[in-house]
Chain A
Amino acid sequence: MADDPQSRSDRWQIRIRDLHKSFGTQHVLRGVNLDIERGKINIIIGGSGQGKSVFMKHLMGLLAPDSGHIYVDGQDIIGLGDVAMGKIQRKFGMVFQYAALFDSMNVVENIAFPLLERYRLPKTEVMERVRALLTLLDLAKTAGIEQKFPAELSGGMRKRVGLARALIDRPEILLYDEPTTGLDPIATKNVDEMIRRTADEFGVTSVVISHDMASTFRIADRVAMLYEGLIVANGTRKEVLASPNPVLREFVETSGAVQFGGGPS
């Protein structure tokens, strides 16, 4: 059946059903239902403290829900053991809000880390793949970048190194946790372009957590809004902009970046 989340769908890569999560008395996710479209940029918007990052951490098993299901290509990942979960996690790459680069490693060691941990590859092949990504992400032109440590990089460069690390093992799904937070407008635009280009060139399914409305409506294929632990709006960019949902309208209009019934202002 096409709509059965337990069967592999050509259109939907991740399907989330009735996801609940509490921390003590705080009920953060209150029954999230959402489908993530394969090969597209799916952006989840919402205010601070609405559970966006908690939701994203569930997608690749960094947090376990209290109840609910997450189907990745039809396979429920909730309750999987270490080995089976490891196989699922190899489909994912994650770009963290502040890049989460390993302080004790230089740029090359950071980017090569997933390859070195998972496979026994010749050093030359690892370096080839690292350098190809550095070139693709416009990092190669920075002198001596390979031997630099995270502390020596700017915020935008860190994010790109984080993306290179997430991309090196050619994941099917890329998760971005607030990728433009703390960046200036030019760096934000560059990161947006990087997300768009990565989706187009690698064909990966992108899931982006954001509260940057300008970025969202510039690059999103699909937009969902998480509010008080529930998805209150979900659809293509056009569908969402036509939504009558008052919470969504207020959130988007307050940003001033887009107007309802139109595109980015």
Chain B
Amino acid sequence: MTEPSASPAGESAKPELAPGQQFHPLAFAGRVFSPLTGAVAIFGDHIILLGRSLAWLFRPPFRLRLFFEQMEFVGVGSLPIIMLVGFFTGAVTALQAILALSLFEQQRYVGFGVGISLARELAPVFTALMITARAGSGMATELASMRITEQVDALTTFAVNPVQYLVTPRLVASCLMLPVMNMVFNVVGLIGVYVVAIVSYHIDLGQVLELFRHGVDPIDYIEGLIKAFFFGLTMATCACYQGLNVRGGAKEVGLATTRAVVSTSVTVLVLDYFLIQIMNVLFPYGGL
């Protein structure tokens, strides 16, 4: 037998409360805004992890070996992919720039245009995205595997702080190696420009170099380096957070890696916008 309906048939549908249940405005608001509060909480957790990791940087023991291992993983290990992507980014951008500039017969500006794009934008952002795909995903997977196989707990049983042992070296290595890789990207990108502009399109090298020298300022490279430093900070924090906070099994390890790559990539692009705004104030663009 079914229970008689509380409202007469035909009355407009209204959310019904179970018997004895009362409507609490605060609880309702909590449910409505829970995605927002959840996002704020996760952001807060990232900041706490970053803060703890930086605090542990200055407390002994200092395990230099771990720092060098991570620098090798993030930097040296990423060198081939950075060089490959850097070369083709420079070459493709130069190709497009030459096509556009040829409308005004000003192909000689290609070095300046692509050089400044690489220095200020393409190199730091592409470096961050490439290293996130390679090293950030690796960090998240490794830490997540360590978490689910209780290796992180095992560290704690030996009175070793997991943040100091696992997160701090990855954070420092990322902050140091992303700027280095950013410069490698710039150099290799300019080689790509050279190959397209000088070798393929026979644009005068002297003019290209002269305009590049006048137009591209060391400040442009410094901006790129500052950006790369913050992107490294972002990547290591997101990857380590996702890795250390995994629960479950192999499927969750995969999901944690995906979340690490997606959250880092999105954060890098959003952060890029705000860093540009800040640096436009700090280092006003002079142009040619």
Chain A positions within 8 Å of B, measured between CB atoms, are 57, 60-62, 82, 85-87, 89-90, 92-94, 96-98, 100-103, 113-114, 117-118, 166
Would you list which residues of chain B between 8 and 40 have a CB under 8 Å from chain A?
none
Residues of A within 8 A of B159 (CB): 85-87, 89-90, 117-118
Residues of A within 8 A of B61 (CB): 117
Residues of A within 8 A of B145 (CB): 103
Interchain CB contact (< 8 A) of B150 among A90, A98, A166:
A98
Contact sample, A vs B, 29 pairs, CB 8 Å cutoff: A57-B153, A60-B157, A62-B153, A62-B157, A87-B159, A89-B156, A89-B157, A89-B159, A90-B159, A92-B157, A94-B154, A96-B150, A96-B153, A96-B154, A97-B150, A98-B150, A100-B149, A100-B150, A100-B153, A100-B154, A101-B154, A103-B145, A103-B146, A103-B149, A113-B158, A114-B158, A117-B61, A117-B158, A118-B158
- In the complex the two chains form, is A102's CB within 8 Å of B151's CB? yes
Q: How far is the CA of A57 from the CA of B153 in the complex (A)?
A: 9
Consensus secondary structure, chain A interface = mixed
Q: How far is the CA of A82 from the CA of B52 in the complex (A)?
A: 13
Q: How far is the CA of A62 from the CA of B158 in the complex (A)?
A: 11
Q: Produce 1/0 per residue, B114-155, CB < 8 A to A.
A: 000000000000000000000000000000011001110110
Q: How far is the CA of A60 from the CA of B153 in the complex (A)?
A: 11
Q: How far is the CA of A62 from the CA of B155 in the complex (A)?
A: 10
Q: How far is the CA of A51 from the CA of B182 in the complex (A)?
A: 50
Residues of B within 8 A of A85 (CB): 159
With an 8 A cutoff between CB atoms, is B161 at the interface?
yes
B18 to chain A, nearest CB (A): 18
Residues of A within 8 A of B153 (CB): 57, 62, 94, 96, 100
Residues of B within 8 A of A103 (CB): 145-146, 149, 151
Q: How large is the interface on B (under 10, 10 to 19, 20 to 34, 35 or more residues)?
A: 10 to 19
Closest to B59 in A: A82
- In the complex the two chains form, is A82's CB within 8 Å of B157's CB? no
For the A-B complex, the count of residue pairs with Cβ-Cβ distances under 8 Å equals 48
A206 to chain B, nearest CB (A): 15
Q: How far is the CA of A114 from the CA of B155 in the complex (A)?
A: 9
Q: How far is the CA of A89 from the CA of B157 in the complex (A)?
A: 6
Residues of B within 8 A of A118 (CB): 158-159
B3 to chain A, nearest CB (A): 27
Q: How far is the CA of A249 from the CA of B205 in the complex (A)?
A: 91
Would you list which residues of chain B between 167 and 215 have a CB under 8 Å from chain A?
none
A14 to chain B, nearest CB (A): 15
A85 to chain B, nearest CB (A): 8
Q: How far is the CA of A102 from the CA of B161 in the complex (A)?
A: 15
Residues of A within 8 A of B146 (CB): 103
B56 to chain A, nearest CB (A): 10
With an 8 A cutoff between CB atoms, is B160 at the interface?
yes
Among B150, B151, B159, chain A packs the most CB atoms within 10 A around the CB of B159
Residues of B within 8 A of A90 (CB): 159
- Taking A89-B156, A117-B160 as given, write out 8 further A-B residue pairs in contact, using a Cβ cutoff of 8 Å, ordered by the A residue number: A57-B153, A62-B157, A89-B158, A94-B154, A98-B149, A100-B149, A101-B154, A118-B158
- In the complex the two chains form, is B157's CB within 8 Å of A102's CB? no
A76 to chain B, nearest CB (A): 18
Residues of A within 8 A of B156 (CB): 61-62, 89
Residues of B within 8 A of A113 (CB): 158
Residues of B within 8 A of A82 (CB): 161
Residues of B within 8 A of A92 (CB): 157
Q: How far is the CA of A113 from the CA of B63 in the complex (A)?
A: 13
Q: How far is the CA of A92 from the CA of B149 in the complex (A)?
A: 20
Residues of B within 8 A of A101 (CB): 151, 154
Q: How far is the CA of A97 from the CA of B157 in the complex (A)?
A: 14
Q: How far is the CA of A62 from the CA of B156 in the complex (A)?
A: 7
Q: How far is the CA of A60 from the CA of B145 in the complex (A)?
A: 22
B84 to chain A, nearest CB (A): 27
Q: How far is the CA of A94 from the CA of B159 in the complex (A)?
A: 12
Closest to A177 in B: B150
Residues of B within 8 A of A102 (CB): 151, 154
B35 to chain A, nearest CB (A): 18
B73 to chain A, nearest CB (A): 11
Closest to B161 in A: A82
Q: How far is the CA of A114 from the CA of B146 in the complex (A)?
A: 17
Q: Produce 1/0 per residue, B32-67, CB < 8 A to A.
A: 000000000000000000000000000001000000
Interchain CB contact (< 8 A) of B157 among A87, A94, A98:
A94
Q: How far is the CA of A86 from the CA of B156 in the complex (A)?
A: 9
- In the complex the two chains form, is A100's CB within 8 Å of B151's CB? yes
